[in-house]
């Protein structure tokens, strides 16, 4: 495993697949996209976009579907709202992170939710011939105090190793059958070579307990693999299956994020994220701690 800087092509673009049905959150997600559910006062998609910007990503590609246009609206300028707020002397800085530079947010449509791999493929014309990042916004990645976000850590590693990178974390063996799992090779610090990848394996067949956790840096060749990728686990076109085919053709590594990850695609993970973030917020942490203590007695 070489760790010499190799100056690969920079990561300027990120794809946010947000066309899933969000069935685990019904009825909340019947009308409101999962990615707009707020953890305290910011929607999930905002956390992911902030993480992307911290990592130097310039262009945000949203793969939306039916009923998901609110996500695109979120990054528009709400003229009437801002006008009324400034007339009333209200603080507009809360909206700053939602303002996109014109042309920096691009939406493409996944007409039918055929799976994550298919959603990524829908962005192929915008991604073009350069490496790109992927964020699953329902995986909320939170930096340690004073630390950096998951994608920034990945970009720093990418500058050393190039190729394809995925973020991974360890879960109890009983949980592996719900996730994409890596077959790990040589490891050095938080970097592990990836020898194989399998989506939702039965526990007995899982090659490890290291699961793929919602952040990727991939080479554009994955789009060509996805072009002909058939259905996999759950009858969906899986990104994991396409990535597995690239192993051996191009360098493929996993990075273990030094920070906190919350699975906000599940209800329990969402509640955990809300509590964890509220407890860390300087404007409410103490009150939330007092409330939690009272509720627990």
Is position 232 an interface residue for ligand UTP (rule: CB under 6 A)? no
Is position 24 an interface residue for ligand UTP (rule: CB under 6 A)? yes
Contact 16, 45 (CB under 8 A): yes
Judged by CB under 6 A, the residue of 11, 57, 138, 194 near ligand UTP is 138
Contact 140, 261 (CB under 8 A): yes
Question: How far apart are the C-alpha atoms of 33 and 64, rounded to whole Å?
Answer: 10
Contact 49, 97 (CB under 8 A): yes
Stretch that binds ligand UTP, among 21-29, 91-99, 147-155, 274-282 (CB under 6 A): 21-29
Query: How many residues bind ligand UTP, per CB under 6 A?
Result: 21
List helix spans (H) across 42-149.
Answer: 44-54, 69-74, 79-87, 116-121, 124-127
Handedness of CA 61, 181, 192, 1 (dihedral sign): negative
Is position 180 an interface residue for ligand UTP (rule: CB under 6 A)? no
Residue 201 CA to its chain's centroid (Å)? 21
Judged by beta carbon, residue 24 or residue 224, the one nearer ligand UTP is 24
Contact 239, 200 (CB under 8 A): no
Minimum separation from the CB atom of position 270 to ligand UTP (A): 11
Is position 242 an interface residue for ligand UTP (rule: CB under 6 A)? no
Is position 113 an interface residue for ligand UTP (rule: CB under 6 A)? yes
Judged by CB under 6 A, the residue of 8, 10, 21, 288 near ligand UTP is 21
Is position 63 an interface residue for ligand UTP (rule: CB under 6 A)? yes
Minimum separation from the CB atom of position 239 to ligand UTP (A): 8
Judged by CB under 6 A, the residue of 110, 164, 229, 274 near ligand UTP is 110
Is position 43 an interface residue for ligand UTP (rule: CB under 6 A)? no
Is position 163 an interface residue for ligand UTP (rule: CB under 6 A)? no
Question: How far apart are the C-alpha atoms of 133 and 142, rounded to whole Å?
Answer: 17
Question: How far apart are the C-alpha atoms of 156 and 89, rounded to whole Å?
Answer: 42
Residue located via tokens 């974390």: 169
Contacting residues toward ligand UTP, per CB under 6 A: 17-24, 34, 63, 110, 113-116, 118-119, 136-138, 265
């Amino acid at each position: 495993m070489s760790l010499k800087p190799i100056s690969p092509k920079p990561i300027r673009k990120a794809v946010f697949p947000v066309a899933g049905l969000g069935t685990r959150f019904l009825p909340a997600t019947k009308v409101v996209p999962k990615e707009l559910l707020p953890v305290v006062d910011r929607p999930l998609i905002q956390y992911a976009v902030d993480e992307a910007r911290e990592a130097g990503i310039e262009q945000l590609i949203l793969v939306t579907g039916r009923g998901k246009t609110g996500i695109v609206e979120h990054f528009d300028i709400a003229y009437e709202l801002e006008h009324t707020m400034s007339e009333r002397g209200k603080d507009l800085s809360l909206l700053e992170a939602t303002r996109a530079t014109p042309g920096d947010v691009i939406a493409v449509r996944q007409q039918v939710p055929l799976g994550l791999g298919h959603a990524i493929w829908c962005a192929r014309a915008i991604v073009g011939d350069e490496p790109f990042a992927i964020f699953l916004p329902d995986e909320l990645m939170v930096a340690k105090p004073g630390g950096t976000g998951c994608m920034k850590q990945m970009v720093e590693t990418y500058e050393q190793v190039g190729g394809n990178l995925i973020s991974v974390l360890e879960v109890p063996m009983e949980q592996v059958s719900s996730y994409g799992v890596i077959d790990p090779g040589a490891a050095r610090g938080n970097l592990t070579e990836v020898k194989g990848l399998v989506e939702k394996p039965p526990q007995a067949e899982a090659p490890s307990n290291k699961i793929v956790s919602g952040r990727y840096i991939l080479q554009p060749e994955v789009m060509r693999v996805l072009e002909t990728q058939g259905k996999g686990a759950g009858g969906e076109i899986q990104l994991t299956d396409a990535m597995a085919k690239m192993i051996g053709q191009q360098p493929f590594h996993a990075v273990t994020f030094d920070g906190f990850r919350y699975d906000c695609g599940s209800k329990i993970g969402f509640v955990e994220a809300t509590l964890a973030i509220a407890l860390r917020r300087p404007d409410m942490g103490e009150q939330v701690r007092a409330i939690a203590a009272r509720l627990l007695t």
